Structure 1
């Protein structure tokens, strides 16, 4: 019998949220004797911090995470009002915690965005026992990154950032963090795999490791045998011991300057969607092998359309680099700056074609202008119902978003959502386009199931989904 797997993210957002968001990391470099790992751990632990946050909630619950309220003297501020003190009767306060590490001697700290997103207050505890109030300088929810800043009176110890591209399967690594509030905990393992894609079309390729990761590890470093940080611990498979994941540090480096300078990340977009090229699809398109990336859809009026891309084209090269699979593409694309014109080699009707495509700024493409939206966490793609294609649904029902594609084995698939369904309502919020859909998803309280109202074949049905099978450590 095949077991279903769930992805989890970890931040000691209480045991209640232990089923939320979690990710882990990998390592690099030549192996060293196990007896030397103690030296590596000792030299590295002082760059790891414990992060505690206070999050305020309304009864409607549109904050990102929920945690178990901790003891009063552990809260970031002694003067912070407890439930009912300075808050509305329908508001309450809870605490969450996670890990992070220092990347500059003047107090910049990296962690996961799910650890601090929505926090009213953030406190950072250093390894030497000192505590500081922290300011959130930047957030990138797509990569699950956050940049914090503390003001220390003296220079701080700094992490040595390694090269995650040099990681090999079997390399030894250690994960350092604060699982379940147990500070400065070190666990050891190996790099189990690199280039893991946990979500279709997600621009992140994760490092997989068997080093133990638990709630509270989120945002902590994955360290190689040379004491270099090669990843940020961020998730694990729910119920799967030894299945942890980390964001490669090289991916982090590509956005770090933007987080420092602007507090956000400009992300590229060319206006098309892709899918992996299977051996059978390769044969059907006349490709010599299954290397490359299949273009499944083109959004009219945007870069790919203007560059002459067509549905069914295969991308063989992008910006001078060979594209073997979707993992290759998303890594290269993610590192390509907005505004750059990129040379692309396509395979069309068994002939190689050259094109040049402009990388647009995704932040400037309004949701209302998009013709499709891929929601990786749910494993589905929705399209604007007013797209003009016949839907075989009465005109009076012609609003909402049409489910155009379902990822096999994804959250939506497991919940029973089908291609052709029309999403009319999310958590009681009417859906009339991408803007309302994205707002409803962002406002969802992850402590309860997500509720869709679906119109299917003349009938109305409610379906619940569990998008947060990702545990935030």
Structure 2
């Protein structure tokens, strides 16, 4: 037989629970305040006065007062684009402490710079006897939905307030940057990342660095972003050891398709026994269909996707029904002479011109011998140029640059003879109506059928 609790006992339990809630909340607030103080002591501001707007199209011009943070042995981590062209940098630390640091090295692919404090013992004495240092979180420790905290010199807070800005949020996703200075994996978070915080740390609840804050790689994305700790720690360790910056290595040899697009992916001919692909379980004979969500049709596509990635970058491979994640290790050295050359889309106009490559439409086509001409679209890559132009399965490509398309070779010839052309013009047949598509070749803009 069930017995109900006496009313006074039940009332006492409810009162105790109500009293415990504020106490627990206060303990949580105290823990966050302690975390902010501990991490904030390791954050530095690059001692530069703003010369213009905090946010600009290229950002990495040092116009905003930027951030960095102390790691072991008196080293400072910040963004490569903020230290480029400098031998030394002045620093401002918490509490108004001033210091100077020399540039140890830069990794252009990881967009990471490593600095070393000058006279670290004197700086430590001014900070109470010991230099603070932030540890890196182990690779793979981050989860979507996890609490994280952005810390940095937002709006020059170290100079104005004597302490860095501290904001709480969660990890919303891990994406791939395909525009801007850095083109590897990025953590996205709803923690505030304001101008001046770039180069500062994104930390977890234990004060471990899970990323380095960077500007948004696209003006259409307004979440805060950070370079993952795996990429950053790999770059820092290499720079400490005096090793030259390197491209990431997957550790596979691919079978050449002779220039022909392979709709079912690129075949892996050989897997290096000690490489990232082997550790992820990749075997010879597998076919790579997509890399980080982008479809690949030949070895050039694979090279394009992997070339910007530094060691330590996780790469998602779609093997046509199975997906694996490989963490790249060190490959061939980076050509530093070209690594820092501005890209044309960054608006500098200084990049060396390169021969125009024929655009890849991302379409699988079928010849129609029963008809006089026209190539039927049987598959459209949702990430490809054809999809962005509005081409659909069942459409029939009739003309390319006024060339009648009877065979696939006709299309290859038309796309290969675009020298001097400003626009690619395609005419397609859809539901007995002709539509004209025009793609400007001097900028990434496309128009749909009309």
TM-score, normalising length: structure 2:
0.51
1:320 lines up with 2:274 in the alignment: no
Superposed, 1:333-372 pairs within 5 Å as: 334-335=310-311, 361-363=332-334
CA distance change for structure 1 residues 212 and 67 in 2, over 3 Å: closer, same or farther? Answer: same
| 1:97 aligned partner | 65
1:404 lines up with 2:375 in the alignment: no
| 1:168 aligned partner | 143
CA distance change for structure 1 residues 163 and 148 in 2, over 3 Å: closer, same or farther? Answer: same
Larger Rg: 2
Superposed, 1:88-237 pairs within 5 Å as: 96-104=64-72, 106-119=73-86, 121-151=88-118, 152-153=120-121, 154=124, 155-183=130-158, 184-194=164-174, 196-199=175-178, 204-236=184-216
Provide the aligned length of Structure 1 versus Structure 2: 290
Match of 1:43 among 38, 61, 75: 38
Offset, 1:261: 2.6
Offset, 1:176: 0.5
Indicate the SS of the match to 2:358.
Answer: strand
User: 127-136 vs 255-264, which deviates more?
Assistant: 255-264
Deviation by residue 1:296-341 (Cα, 9 ceiling, x = unmatched)? 9xxxxxxx9xx679xxxxxxx812314696249969x85489xxxx
Contact 2:210 2:228 in 1 (8 A): yes
Unaligned runs of 5+ in 2: 1-26, 52-57, 125-129, 159-163, 255-260, 283-287, 294-304, 322-328, 347-352, 362-382, 390-399, 402-418, 425-439, 445-450
Indicate the SS of the match to 1:258.
Answer: helix
Offset, 1:263: 6.3
TM-score, normalising length: structure 1:
0.49
RMSD across aligned C-alpha pairs, in angstroms?
5.2
Unaligned runs of 5+ in 1: 1-31, 57-62, 69-95, 275-280, 286-293, 297-303, 310-316, 338-344, 351-357, 368-374, 379-398, 421-453, 467-473
CA distance change for structure 1 residues 40 and 455 in 2, over 3 Å: closer, same or farther? Answer: same
Contact 1:272 1:295 in 2 (8 A): no
Offset, 1:209: 0.4
Contact 2:112 2:235 in 1 (8 A): no
Offset, 1:235: 2.2
Matches of 1:326 and 1:376, distance apart in 2: 24
CA distance change for structure 1 residues 134 and 336 in 2, over 3 Å: closer, same or farther? Answer: closer
Contact 1:188 1:212 in 2 (8 A): yes
| 1:428 aligned partner | none
Indicate the SS of the match to 1:128.
Answer: helix
Ranked by relative contact order (alpha carbons within 8 Å, sequence separation 6 or more), the top structure is 1
